[in-house]
């Protein structure tokens, strides 16, 4: 959680295991929320760790955020790591569901935002078997065809880890895309 003109209030979407983080040396992952997370927010808010808690700002909380009120992560069921990567000079956003999948309305908004602002988008879906999350995810892309191809090629190499894929494409040489943003 971080501070901006907006407030997290009772949202704990980035604390409840949808993003893989470490708190007090313990892994926080799907099915294993941060032990400090409660219905009203963070129990140790004033003393929360600097990294990642103070430093992390989701897209909805970013100063001058383009996200509408209804896209608050606990309501829209998606946490967006806004501009957390780059591809050929373009900002790339990563959207992670709060639950198994991102609801269609939220996904439509994200795809439209990606298209209008020429921001390639990666989003994930979480695998669930027998009522339990397996920790595996599928990765989906929206953006120029070359971007989609590069992400697909990196999927196996990075064992489906969206952050790993994002880091890899961000390190690639900044060749301008040959076509405008497209699905």
Here's the x/- map for ligand SF4, 139-168, by CB under 6 A: it reads as: ------------------------------
The distance between the two most distant Cα atoms of the chain, rounded to a whole number of Å, is 49
Contact with ligand SF4 (CB under 6 A) among 17, 73, 143, 177: 73
Contact indicator for 98, 13 with CB cutoff of 8 Å: yes
Report how far apart, in Å, the C-alpha atoms of 68 and of each of 57, 113, 161 are.
16, 11, 28
Q: If binding is defined by CB under 6 A, does position 58 make contact with ligand SF4? A: yes
Stretch that binds ligand SF4, among 37-45, 84-92, 138-146, 169-177 (CB under 6 A): 37-45
- Pairing assessment for the beta strands 78-87 and 41-42 based on DSSP bridges: unpaired
Q: How many residues bind ligand SF4 (CB under 6 A)?
A: 22
What is the separation of C-alpha 134 from the centre of its chain, rounded to a whole number of angstroms?
18
Q: If binding is defined by CB under 6 A, does position 81 make contact with ligand SF4?
A: no
Name the segment binding ligand SF4 (CB under 6 A); options: 51-59, 111-119, 125-133, 134-142.
Answer: 51-59
Among residues 8 and 90, whose Cβ is nearest to ligand SF4?
Answer: 8
Three-class SS state of 24: coil
User: What is the rounded distance in angstroms from the CA atom of residue 8 to the CA atom of residue 57?
Assistant: 10
Q: Please name the residue ranges forming H helices in the chain.
A: 73-76, 104-117, 145-157, 162-171
Q: State which of residues 17, 60, 97, 147 lies at the interface with ligand SF4 (CB under 6 A).
A: 60
Residues near ligand SF4, by CB under 6 A: 1-2, 8, 11-15, 23, 34, 36-37, 42, 44, 48, 53, 57-58, 60-61, 73, 79
């Amino acid at each position: 959680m971080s501070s901006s003109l907006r407030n997290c209030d009772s949202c704990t979407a980035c604390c409840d295991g949808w993003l893989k983080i470490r708190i007090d040396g313990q892994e926080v992952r799907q099915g294993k929320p941060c032990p400090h997370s409660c219905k009203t927010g963070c129990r140790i808010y004033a003393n929360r760790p600097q990294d990642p808690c103070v430093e992390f700002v989701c897209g909805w909380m970013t100063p001058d955020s383009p996200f509408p009120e209804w896209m608050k992560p606990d309501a829209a069921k998606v946490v967006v790591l806004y501009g957390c990567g780059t591809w050929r000079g373009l900002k790339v956003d990563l959207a992670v569901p709060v639950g198994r999948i991102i609801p269609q309305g939220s996904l439509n908004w994200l795809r439209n935002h990606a298209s209008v602002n020429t921001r390639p988008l990666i989003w994930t879906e979480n695998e669930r078997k027998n009522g339990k999350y397996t920790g595996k995810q599928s990765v989906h892309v929206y953006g120029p065809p070359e971007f989609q191809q590069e992400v697909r090629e990196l999927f196996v190499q990075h064992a489906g880890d969206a952050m790993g894929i994002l880091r890899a494409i961000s390190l690639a040489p900044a060749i301008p895309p040959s076509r405008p943003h497209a699905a």
